[in-house]
Amino acid sequence: MKNPFKNTTFLFGVTKAEKLPSDNGIEVLLSGRSNAGKSSALNSLADNKKLARISKTPGRTTEINFFEVEDGFKLLDLPGYGFAKSGRSRRKNWGPLLEEYFKNRQGLKAVLIFMDIRHPLKPIDLEMIKLCESFDIDYVAVLTKSDKVSKNISAKTIQQVSEAINAKEILIISSLKKIGFEKLRKVLIGFKYE
């Protein structure tokens, strides 16, 4: 089957609420701590290594990057937050933009929260979950880098996460091993029809 994400293209980056594009079509936000593996996942999703920049230095992405999967369906790569030194000032900058975005965005269907399977549910992830819950937006936990842990640890972590939060789905992926992307694609496509 053809990969429906294959033709995903980068549109632009936005740093200020007033620069957000008009609220057309549906949008899914990709969020997660810096280094969680969001950009790698986006590239694997589209099967295009050049799509999103994969930062070697954590926290290098500094904008909300808009990607178009197809007409009327966008993915937004939210730069990593909560990382070490630059975290606090970045978080301060993020707050208003994100709040503004959540408050007024009709097209926002869901938020994916990418978490390194070895370090899930950090305070900043819980903040994002709270934000989703306060605006009644579905969120999906995506546990990344599953190649780094055993099957046993994976299963335990999924159990632990499912007990702690009300995620619509809990998925596990490995961009390195290309595992979990069929399911992730299915879940994302599902949001088109809600």
Ligand X SMILES: Nc1nc2c(ncn2[C@@H]2O[C@H](COP(=O)(O)OP(=O)(O)OP(=O)(O)O)[C@@H](O)[C@H]2O)c(=O)[nH]1
Residues that bind Mg ion (CB under 5 A): 38-39, 61
Q: Which two tokens stand for residue 98?
A: 């994100």
Q: Residues with Cβ < 8 Å from 143, sequence gap 6 or more?
A: 115, 116, 117, 120, 154, 157, 158, 161, 170, 171, 172, 173
**Residue 90 sits in the site that holds ligand X (CB under 6 A):** no
Query: Whose CA is closest to 114, among 133, 142, 140?
Result: 142
User: Which entry of ligand X, Mg ion, none binds 34, CB below 5 to 8 A by partner kind?
Assistant: ligand X
**Residue 79 sits in the site that holds ligand X (CB under 6 A):** yes
Binding positions for ligand X, 3-32, rule CB under 6 A: 32
Nearest to ligand X of 113, 167 (CB atom): 113
Q: Are 25 and 52 in contact (CB under 8 A)?
A: no
Would you give the binding string for ligand X spanning residues 34-73, x where CB under 6 A is met?
Answer: xxxxxxx-------------xxx-xxxx------------
Cα–Cα distance measured from residue 170 to residue 139, given in angstroms and rounded to the nearest whole number: 9
Binding positions for ligand X, 151-190, rule CB under 6 A: 174-176
User: Which entry of Mg ion, ligand X, none binds 36, CB below 5 to 8 A by partner kind?
Assistant: ligand X
Identity of the residue numbered 119: H
Nearest to Mg ion of 83, 158 (CB atom): 83
Binding positions for ligand X, 116-135, rule CB under 6 A: none
Cα–Cα distance measured from residue 175 to residue 151, given in angstroms and rounded to the nearest whole number: 16
Q: Any idea which residue has 């930062």 for tokens? A: 55
> Which residues of this protein are in contact with ligand X, per CB under 6 A?
32, 34-40, 54-56, 58-61, 79-80, 144-145, 147-148, 174-176
